Amino acid sequence: MLEGVKPIQLLLNILWLVLVGFWMAVGYVIAGLICCVLIITIPWGIASFRIASFVLWPFGREAVEKPGAGAGSLIGNVIWVIFAGWWLALGHLFTSIALAITIIGIPFAWANLKLIPISLFPLGREIVPSDRAFAA
């Protein structure tokens, strides 16, 4: 997680973790646990745990489209939006509004808004270091 992280990214990630990351990751972990308990929704649970780790430490990493993701990901994402994605996206939206009120929170508000697409459509994506995101 810390390999190749620049000092500014480290500082931003630590501030993010304290201000936003922990609480948003808890939401994803809860969604993942519910999905894993229901057995048939385990793929969504795994995706939720993956996003939780991304939400904990987002600076220096990007979510990119996974090559080869097809119709299964599309159908899975539609189901995810209906049952869990919309309230996680609302969590990001409300948190970004609260952060935007403060001067220091504006970059974190913007980062929170950038997490909404993956909270709505997690399947068919992977988390990669930012320097690899453009190569993918």
pLDDT tens digit string along 33-79? 999 998 889 999 999 999 999 999 999 888 888 887 788 888 999 99
Which stretch of DSSP H or E encloses residue 131?
A: helix 130-133
- End-to-end alpha-carbon separation of the chain, Å? 19
Six token digits for residue 46: 């795994």
Answer for the pair 120, 86: CB distance below 8 angstroms, yes or no.
yes
φ, ψ of residue 79 in degrees (nearest 5): -65, -45
Tell me, what's the pLDDT at 49? Answer: 96
What is the percent of the chain where pLDDT is above 90? 57
Whole-prediction pTM: 0.84
What is the percent of the chain where pLDDT is above 70? 93
Tell me, what's the pLDDT at 131? Answer: 78
φ, ψ of residue 95 in degrees (nearest 5): -65, -40
Tell me, what's the pLDDT at 2? Answer: 58
Six token digits for residue 109: 């508000």
- Helices 22-37 and 42-56: crossing angle in degrees, nearest 10, is 170
